[in-house]
């Protein structure tokens, strides 16, 4: 058994663009392009990037909620892209997802008890009513909700509480791996901190492995062991989270982290203001996709996409002219 | 001291709902100075946006009603002037940028049309050509490349950041005295947010307007504001100069908010233990407790806070520093 729970090789997801009266394929968007990474057991890998960079598509293709076009996803040594529907259903017991919007991802016509019990029913995880009830109460306790929540409906809860229900639903089948797709973005600051703490506690207690997708870099840096940065479908840098702020090698990572407003008015830091917007993924620039906005760009960058450079076992980047570390 | 251009006194805004009357804004006092940025921070439902809409007299009525208070703009009470008069001020002297650049532009008009409309209403002396020139100039000012071309484009042809720039161009077309920015960067990515905030700072220096920056992001406040007011349940709980507020927060809520932001001071690589949090959640406006609204989430709450001496009022606890708390922190 390897120390990695999840191993992703050359994962690609292509969305065809259809046009003309016959709906022929006239182009393609590579939402995820040739991405490889590994996640250790019990680790949290953060995934950041701007909107449209492919974070969510990547997260969902790991669970085959979006069918990847090419590549392999090994979970506990099994390539899940080759599994049939039954095999995949079995596998999903071990892999769960928490969605961004706790208002849209709970069925308003089901009670909390029904919502939490449904995944367990599907996988046949309880024998009788007594066992079901015991397990439901245990789940509510894990996410610090009161027991009387069982018979209430989602609209009776605030955003933070609903996200706790979503977390409990993911935990119901006792998974090993959870994709967290922007789980705290829709929450207020003070509630966000509560949910982040809850997730970190659960990880410690249950030995969970997380892929934590977010655009809030401060939260990601806080919760993750390592962070991966995506730009236009490509993973441009992966590093230990504490390395990223000061020791970023890819210019995009550096710009991204310097753009975060600093909640400390006493220090002023040099900010890199990137020119322009993210190019359209339908028509990405040749070579390195970042070169039109990059201040280090050379002819080499315009020619071909940079290969992966592994600086250490935990730090890799794709850039011809990385930042020099001082 | 900069010139005071707007003063809000004792503003109360009520909404009629099926479950009774709620007070979304309750006794708010604010001042805006020329060339300065006032930050208004708070969580959702704290009354930030309602305060901003009241200044513009855009509160939907019914169900909303401004129950009490005055809003003085250069000696005139905006709440009492006739509707026509208000129209001349709105968009002209006081302009507003909204949160959602995707939904606040009209999809069936070109961005040029929409900027020209503002000029047509407020600067009637301009000819059609002059208005077009001015629209192009404004797009240029907010950093949109090739504005001559962009001026004939529709909102769907622009990215989110570009649309927010168009919104800013529209609001600044008449060189307003006051710009109200209601979460102007919340829907944008960080790199675009940095561009927009930089742009607003630069334009403020050039045009000298007062800005009211409404946001829930303390990072944005720290970087752009001169003064800050923290709102909770429709009231201002603390008000101070920006550095003073971050360095010496007096209200436990302000302190909790500042502490609950994860910070980047980790260089060791060790996993930090837990984020400090504010326990519990914001009380419902239908069911506010007696006394201090923050009492259930506060570690310092005493009987005094639970209503034995009424509600805490905003009072001075230092130079330009007010807090509404019976037990300010230091």
The Cα diameter of chain B in Å comes to 68
Q: Which residues of B touch A263 (CB under 8 A)?
A: 218-219, 221-222, 246, 258, 261, 263
Closest CA to B38 of B52, B27, B25, B24: B52
Query: What is the arithmetic mean of pLDDT over A156-179?
Result: 92
* Number of residues assigned to chain B: 330
Q: Determine the Cα–Cα distance for residues A74 and A78; give it in Å rounded to an integer.
A: 5
Query: Does the pLDDT value for residue A1 go beyond 70?
Result: no
Taking CA–CA distances from A158, the nearest residue in chain B reads B281
Q: What angle do CA A185, A187, B286 make, to 5 degrees?
A: 160
3-state DSSP assignment of residue B141: helix
pLDDT tens, B15-72?
998 888 889 999 999 999 999 999 999 888 888 989 999 999 988 888 888 999 999 9
Closest CA to A309 of A235, A252, A256: A235
Q: Determine the Cα–Cα distance for residues B215 and B11; give it in Å rounded to an integer.
A: 20
> Backbone dihedral region of B97: left (phi > 0), alpha (psi from -120 to 50 degrees) or beta?
beta
Six-digit token string for B285: 């406006």
pLDDT tens, A174-211?
999 999 998 888 788 878 888 999 999 999 999 999 99
Q: Which residues of A touch B258 (CB under 8 A)?
A: 263
Instruction: Determine whether the interchain pair A265/B242 forms a contact, defined as Cβ–Cβ distance below 8 Å.
Output: yes
3-state DSSP assignment of residue A60: helix
3-state DSSP assignment of residue B240: strand
Six-digit token string for A205: 């207690």
Contact status, residue B112 vs residue B170, Cβ threshold 8 Å: no
- The neighbour count for residue B294, using CB atoms within 10 Å, is 26
The helix (H) or strand (E) run that includes residue B221 is helix B218-224
Six-digit token string for B27: 């006794």
The Cα diameter of chain A in Å comes to 69
Which residue(s) pair with A310 in the sheet? A316
Confidence of residue A251 (pLDDT cuts 50, 70, 90): very high
pLDDT at B1: 65
pLDDT tens, B132-190?
999 998 888 888 888 888 899 999 888 878 888 898 889 888 888 999 999 888 877 88
Confidence of residue B267 (pLDDT cuts 50, 70, 90): very low
Query: Does the pLDDT value for residue B263 go beyond 80?
Result: no
Query: Which phi and psi (to 5°) does residue B163 adopt?
Result: -65, -40
Query: Does the pLDDT value for residue B232 go beyond 60?
Result: yes
Closest CA to B147 of B129, B128, B161, B134: B134
Q: Determine the Cα–Cα distance for residues B3 and B95; give it in Å rounded to an integer.
A: 19
Instruction: Determine whether the interchain pair B264/A190 forms a contact, defined as Cβ–Cβ distance below 8 Å.
Output: no
pLDDT at B271: 52
pLDDT tens, B183-227?
888 877 888 888 888 888 988 998 889 999 999 888 899 999 999
- The neighbour count for residue A146, using CB atoms within 10 Å, is 10
pLDDT at B273: 67
Instruction: Determine whether the interchain pair A266/B267 forms a contact, defined as Cβ–Cβ distance below 8 Å.
Output: no
Cα–Cα distance list, A44 to A59, B58, B167, B184, B275 (Å): 13, 46, 39, 32, 17
Q: What is the pTM of this model?
A: 0.84
pLDDT at B100: 78
Contact status, residue B71 vs residue B39, Cβ threshold 8 Å: no
- The neighbour count for residue A8, using CB atoms within 10 Å, is 24
**Residue B240: partners with Cβ closer than 8 Å, 6 or more residues away:** B227, B228, B250, B318, B320, B321, B322
Query: What is the arithmetic mean of pLDDT over B251-276?
Result: 73
Q: Determine the distance in angstroms separating the CA of A85 from the nearest CA of chain B, rounded to an integer.
A: 37
Taking CA–CA distances from B198, the nearest residue in chain A reads A273
Interface of B with A in 151-210 (CB under 8 A): 159-162, 189-195, 197-198
Six-digit token string for B81: 């002037």
Closest CA to A142 of A203, A219, A211: A203
Interface residue B218 vs chain A (CB under 8 A): yes
Query: What is the arithmetic mean of pLDDT over B228-241?
Result: 93
Of A190, A263, A266, the CB nearest to B219: A263
Contact status, residue A291 vs residue A302, Cβ threshold 8 Å: yes
């Amino acid at each position: 058994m390897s120390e990695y729970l999840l191993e992703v090789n050359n994962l690609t997801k292509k969305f065809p663009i259809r046009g003309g009266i016959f709906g022929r394929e006239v182009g393609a968007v590579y939402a995820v392009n040739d991405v490889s990474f590994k996640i250790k057991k019990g680790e949290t890998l953060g995934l950041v990037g701007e909107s449209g960079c492919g974070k969510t598509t990547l997260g969902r293709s790991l669970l085959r909620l979006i069918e990847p076009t090419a590549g392999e996803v090994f979970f506990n040594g099994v390539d899940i892209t080759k599994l049939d529907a039954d095999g995949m259903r079995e596998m999903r017991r071990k892999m769960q997802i928490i969605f961004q919007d706790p208002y849209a991802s709970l069925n308003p016509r089901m009670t909390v008890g029904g919502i939490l019990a449904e995944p367990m029913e599907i996988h046949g995880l309880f024998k009788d009513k007594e066992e079901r009830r015991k397990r439901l109460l245990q789940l509510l306790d894990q996410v610090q909700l009161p027991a009387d929540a069982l018979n209430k409906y989602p609209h009776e809860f605030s955003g933070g509480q609903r996200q706790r229900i979503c977390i409990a639903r993911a935990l119901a089948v006792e998974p090993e791996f959870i994709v967290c797709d922007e789980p705290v973005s829709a929450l207020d600051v003070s509630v966000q901190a509560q949910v982040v703490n809850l997730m970190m506690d659960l990880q410690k207690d249950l030995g969970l492995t997380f892929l934590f997708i977010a655009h809030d870099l401060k939260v990601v840096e806080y919760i993750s062991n390592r962070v991966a940065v995506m730009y236009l479908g490509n993973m441009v840098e992966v590093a230990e989270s504490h390395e990223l702020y000061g020791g970023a090698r890819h210019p995009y990572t550096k710009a991204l982290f310097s753009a975060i407003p600093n909640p400390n008015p006493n220090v002023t830091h040099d900010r890199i203001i990137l020119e322009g917007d993210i190019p359209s993924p339908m028509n990405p620039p040749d070579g390195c996709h970042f070169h039109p906005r990059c201040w280090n760009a050379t002819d080499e960058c315009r020619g071909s996409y940079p290969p992966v450079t592994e600086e250490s076992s935990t730090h890799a980047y794709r850039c011809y002219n990385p930042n020099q570390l001082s | 001291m900069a010139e005071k251009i707007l003063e809000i006194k004792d503003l109360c805004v009520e909404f009629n709902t099926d479950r009774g009357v709620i007070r979304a804004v309750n006794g708010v006092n604010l001042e805006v100075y020329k060339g300065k940025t006032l930050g208004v921070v708070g969580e959702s439902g704290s009354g930030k946006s309602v305060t901003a809409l009241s200044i513009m007299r855009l509160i939907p009525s019914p169900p909303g009603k401004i129950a009490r208070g005055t809003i003085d703009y250069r000696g005139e009470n905006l709440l009492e002037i006739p509707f026509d008069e208000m129209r001349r001020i709105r968009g002209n002297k006081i302009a507003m940028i909204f949160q959602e650049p995707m939904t606040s532009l009209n999809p069936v008009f070109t961005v040029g049309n929409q900027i020209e409309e503002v000029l047509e209403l407020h600067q009637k002396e301009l000819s059609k050509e002059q208005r077009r020139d001015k629209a192009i100039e404004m797009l240029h000012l907010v950093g949109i490349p090739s504005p001559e071309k962009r001026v004939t484009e529709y909102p769907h042809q622009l990215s989110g950041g570009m649309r927010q720039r168009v919104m800013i161009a529209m609001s600044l077309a008449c060189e307003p005295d006051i710009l109200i920015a209601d979460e102007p960067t919340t829907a944008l990515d960080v790199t675009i947010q940095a561009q927009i905030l930089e742009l607003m700072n630069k334009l403020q220096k050039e045009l000298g307007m007062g800005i009211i920056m409404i946001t829930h992001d303390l990072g944005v406040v720290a970087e752009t504001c001169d003064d800050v007011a923290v709102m909770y349940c429709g009231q201002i709980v603390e008000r101070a100069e920006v550095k003073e507020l971050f360095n010496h927060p007096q209200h436990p809520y302000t302190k909790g908010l500042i502490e609950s932001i994860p910070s980047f001071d980790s260089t060791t690589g060790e996993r930090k233990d837990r984020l400090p949090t504010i326990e519990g959640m914001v009380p419902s406006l239908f069911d506010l407790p007696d006394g201090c609204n923050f009492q259930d989430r506060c570690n310092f709450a005493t009987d005094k806070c639970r209503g034995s001496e009424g509600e805490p009022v905003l009072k001075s606890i230092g130079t330009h520093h007010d807090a509404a708390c019976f037990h300010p922190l230091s």
